[in-house]
Structure formats: C-alpha cells, structure tokens
A and B are shown apart, each in its own frame.
Chain A
Amino acid sequence: MFEATPLNQRNDTRQKLFRFGLGTMTGLLILPVVLILGTLIYKGAPVISFEFLFTGPTKGMTAGGIFPALLGTILLVLVALIASVPLGIAAAIYLSEYAADNWFTRTINLAIINLAGVPSIVHALFGVGAFVIFFRFGTSILAASLTLAIMTLPVVIVATRESLQAVPMAFREACWNMGATRWQTIRRVVLPNAITGILTGVILEVSRTAGETAPIMFTGAAFFLPLLPQSVFDQTMALSLHLFVVSTQVPGMPENLPFGVALVLISMVLLMNSLSIALRMYLRGKKKW
C-alpha cells in the first residue's frame, strides 16, 4: 500500500473538518426549528381539546375555540381548489403535451415563476383591485379564494407538468400510431399514469393555501364574525388570520391560546405535506414500466 504522506494526512484531516463543519451547519439549521416546534407543542397542546376545535371564540376571543376559523380555512381552500386545479392541470397539459420549445412557451414559464415569486401582499392588492372592486364580489370568500387560487396556481402547474413529463414519450407515440387523437392519448395513457403525481401537487397546494394570510386579509377574511358564512359572497374567519389577530390585536390574551392556534395551523400544514411526501414515496416504489 501507499505510505500516508504528510500532504495526504493534511488533506484527510481537512476533509474530516470540512464534513464536520457542514454537518454542524445542517444541524444548526434544523435544530432551532425542532426546538421551536417543540415549544409550540409544549405550550399549545394543553389548549387543544374537542371543544377548542369545535366551538367559536368567546369573551372577545380571549376564550373559547376556533371552529369558525377552521371552517373558514376549509371553505377558502375548497373554493380556491375548484378554481385553480382544473386551470392548473390544463396549463400543465398544454406545457407538457402541446407547447413547442419557443419564446411563447418561455414567456409562459416566466409568468409561472413570477406568479409564484410576486409577494403575497401584492397578490392581496390584486385581489382587492380585481375581485373585490372591479368584479364587485366585495370582501367575500369568493374574492379571497380566487386570490389564493391565482397565487398558488404555480404549485399545481409545476407538480402536474413534472408528473406528465415523467410518462415516457414512447407510450404517446404508440398511441398516436394507433390512431388515437392527442386528447385520447392524454386521457387514456398519460393522465392515468400521472394522477398520483398530480394529487401530490394538489395536496401541496392545499397546504400552501391553508397557511396564507396576507392575500386574504383584505379580500374576504375577517378578524371576528359572530355568524358562520352562508354563501361564497359572505366574509369568513380563517385560521391563519386568526393566529395573527389573537397574537397581535387582542389585549388581555391568555398566553397559551395563540400557541394552540399556531399548533393547529402548523399541524394541518405539515400533515398535508407529509401526506404529499408519503404519496410521492409510494409512487416511487411502485414502478409501472
């Protein structure tokens, strides 16, 4: 074998140091978040009960539960999904199955990147200018959900496009050769094999939509409402905004209550993300070609 020269030894030590340093950085990035989550659970868990989840706030929001906010978030997400999922899937099908590699397609891609990159408060301003004022929806679930839908559209588009493109070209060509139209090919071969991937994207979008606050502040979410919304033209409470309200706007708030709200919100979001990740791993394990 080769003798270890001083240079080799130095390199070896440096390599170990380097690796250790990077590992420490990784740990330092993750550790605070783990501690923070631990604190959220420690302080928030005692608040959470069946009643907390299923009754409304009382005593100027300093007591009671979060039911109207929870329900409002679910409504906002549902309406947003109805608007954005078909549109996002259509856009992804266009980009994956029809679009040529030209300036027009690059423009669409740039628009998608920007749609994801524009600050959420700018989306809020757009929602106010377009849906609340111009289309006269007023501050309503509809206006807020449409704002959220546009903001999270890129999530569906990108996930769907990726899963469509993962279906090998040879399958499409085989179908076309048999006389299948483009749409028949997409519907019978491409979509069925991309559906789990699309679902992953939709779940991610649910998670994103549920956590957003700024876009709904002025378009449809209210600080406090005594009644539950009756239609999409009513305002609603929302969990994310509720967390903002109880932690900044209400004097005399018991310390643990906002932690409970935060814990519910983050559990919802992380649960959705974990579901999406689990689905993706299941998909990876289940090869079909």
Chain B
Amino acid sequence: MENNTSAKVSAGIDPGFDQLNRDWYIDKAVQVLVFIGGISAIVFIIGIFVFISKEGYGFLVGEFNFKEFFFSPNWRPTSESKETFGILALIAGTASVTGLAMLVAIPFSLGTAIFIAEFSSGKTREFLKITVELLAAIPSVVWGFIGLAIMNPIIIQTFNVPVGLNVLNAGIILGLMAAPIMTSIAEDALKAVPDRYREAAEAMGATRWQVIYKVVLPAAKNGLLGAVLLGVGRGFGETMAVLMATGHSINIPTSVFDSVRALTATIAAELGETAAGSPHYQALFTIGIFLFVITFIINLVADLVVRGVRKG
C-alpha cells in the first residue's frame, strides 16, 4: 500500500522548493564573512605575539642573557663601553608603582562598589554609576599630565621633597585611573549575587552589613578577585601616565619618594631613538614580549576566576 501511495504522490507534486536560490547563497556568504570577523580576534592576538617576537628574536638568540636580563638592575643599552640589558630596576619600578596603585585602588574601588550596589538606589545610584563610567574614560595621557602639572607641585610642597615625580605620584595617579574600572567590575560581581541570598539572611534577622559581610562578599568573592586582577593588569600595562609621573629614572626604589622607571615607559621613551634591528631596538621588543606574556597570564587567570563564579 505504501508503494502505491508514494508512486501516486511523486507524480503530481513539484518539489521545486529545494532549489538553492540567491538568498541561500547570500546567507552562506554572510556566514563565512562573520566567521572571519569572529576569528579575527584570535588572528590578531597571535599576530601581536608573532610580530613582536619577530622583531625581538635577534636579541633573544644573540645578546640575551637570562640572568642579566632579569636579575641585573643595569639598563644601559646605549653604553659606549659595555651595553647591559638588565630590566630588574624596570620591573621594580613597575611593581612598586602598580603595588602602591593597588593599595589605593583596591579599598576605594571595593568600598565604592559596595556602596553603589548595596547602599544606594534610584537617582544616587544612577549618578554614581555614570560618574564612575566617565572617570574610567579619562585618557591616560591626561592622567600623566595631571601627575606632572598638578600632583607634582602638591607632593613637593606637602612632603618637602625636591622632586614630586616619583612612586607616590605615579601610584596615586594609577590608582585613581584603575579604580573606576575595578569599581564597575566589582559592582557587577556584587549585583550578580542573587537577591534571594540577601533575603534569606535578612529573614534570619541579619542586619544589612552582616548580610554583606557574611553572605554577599563571600558569594561575590571570585568576581571581586577578577576585578582586582584586571586592575593589576591595567596598572602593569599602563604606559603614558607612568612615563610622565614616575620621574623616569632607573632606580630600585627604597621609598615612595624615589623616582623610578617602568617597563612600558622605557619602551615608549626609547623606541623612537633606536635604529630598527639594533640590539637596543630588539631588546625593547623583548620587553614587549615579556609584558605581553605577563598580561596574557593575568587576563587568563582573571577570566578563569570570574568564570568560576558563574559555574558555582
């Protein structure tokens, strides 16, 4: 019976709807195009690594000496007698400025995030969020200028020191810079804690701050850690502000009033003066590779930490 039926059916009806028409081909073409867009981010990240490695390669296989590079404080790439490429002092400069910046930014950004997420509502909340967003938009060269033209004289006067361009200046500037971004991310993490957690704790008679301390903060722990890590990454990679506010002198700092020089700032200050392909030029690219790898790791860890929050 089935054979009978299908024979009859196939006689009369036109199956023409399965023809591949223009819309079908356009759809396929778009699919390919947006896929190219999608993989572009991967291509660029690989491209960045490949191209800076290509330029730094000559140094890595030539003058590069692991022990000198990482453990010598002497960055003398243009010395007449003997060139040395030690980035220890530069690492110390970056680390001290980033460290101080985090001392400023972590408490302030977390405090502000808690205030916005848990203690404000309506218009206040909206106003604070917009303000934080606008603060995050101030360009780093403007921050550098602020360090140079406003913070510098203030530090000289307040602490009676000869130079105001130092770890303190750059640390505060960098802290103010990183805090808004950290605040936004931390606030997102706090907002992601479901309200039923808060309600359950409040139903048991806990006060607002107890709820925050005992319930909200532990639940948002990973997101907050992610915010801090991204802040560290940001401070570590910041260029213009530290170039302008640190004083830019090679130093392993012993106090916050010492001038220092950061890894990023060294590249920014010296790349223009080097001849392409020279050891100095290649050494600057090698610092670039180092910065790339470190920030990649920081971002990767931050991403894993924040992702852990969503799974849990």
Binding site for B on A (CB under 8 A): 11-12, 14-15, 18-19, 21-23, 25-26, 28-30, 32-33, 36, 39-40, 86-95, 97-99, 107-108, 110-115, 117-126, 128-130, 133-134, 150, 153-154, 157, 181-184, 186, 207-208, 210-214, 217-218, 240-241, 243-244, 247-248, 258-259, 262, 265-266, 269-270, 272-274, 277
Contact = CB atoms under 8 A, between A and B. Distances in A.
B141 A211 contact: yes
Contact of A98 (B31, B47, B108, B285): B31
A129 B142 contact: no
Given A130-B47, A266-B139, A113 B268 contact: no
A176 to B, nearest CB: 11
24 contacts: A12-B207, A29-B109, A91-B41, A97-B34, A107-B42, A114-B299, A114-B300, A120-B239, A124-B271, A125-B271, A130-B51, A150-B48, A182-B30, A183-B23, A183-B30, A207-B137, A210-B139, A213-B141, A217-B272, A244-B145, A270-B137, A270-B138, A273-B133, A277-B130
Interface in B115-171: 115-116, 119, 128, 130-131, 133-135, 137-142, 144-146, 148-150
Q: Is chain A's binding surface mostly helix, strand, loop or mixed?
A: helix
Interface in B43-60: 44-45, 47-48, 51-52, 54-55
B288 A125 contact: yes
B52 A129 contact: yes
B269 to A, nearest CB: 10
Contacts of B233: 117
Given A32-B176, A90-B36, 11 more contacts: A23-B115, A30-B128, A91-B41, A93-B34, A97-B34, A110-B300, A118-B237, A122-B52, A122-B295, A129-B55, A157-B41
Contacts of A32: 176
B26 interface: yes
Nearest to B267: A121
A-B CB proximity, top 5 nearest: A90-B37, A211-B139, A119-B237, A94-B38, A25-B111
Interface of B: 23-24, 26-27, 30-31, 33-42, 44-45, 47-48, 51-52, 54-55, 107-109, 111-112, 114-116, 119, 128, 130-131, 133-135, 137-142, 144-146, 148-150, 176, 179-180, 183, 207-210, 230, 233-234, 236-240, 244, 264, 267-268, 271-272, 276, 284-285, 288, 291-292, 295-296, 298-300, 303
Contact of B240 (A19, A92, A214): A214
A29 B44 CA distance: 36
Given A118-B295, A243-B142, A14 B34 contact: no
A198 B133 CA distance: 18
A212 B139 contact: yes
Contacts of A25: 107-108, 111-112, 115
A217 B234 CA distance: 19
B244 A244 contact: yes
Nearest to B37: A90
A262 to B, nearest CB: 5
Contacts of A208: 137
A117 B142 contact: no
Given A30-B135, A88-B37, A122-B288, A22 B115 contact: yes
A46 B295 CA distance: 41
Contacts of B41: 91, 108, 111-112, 115, 153-154, 157
Contacts of B108: 25, 28-29
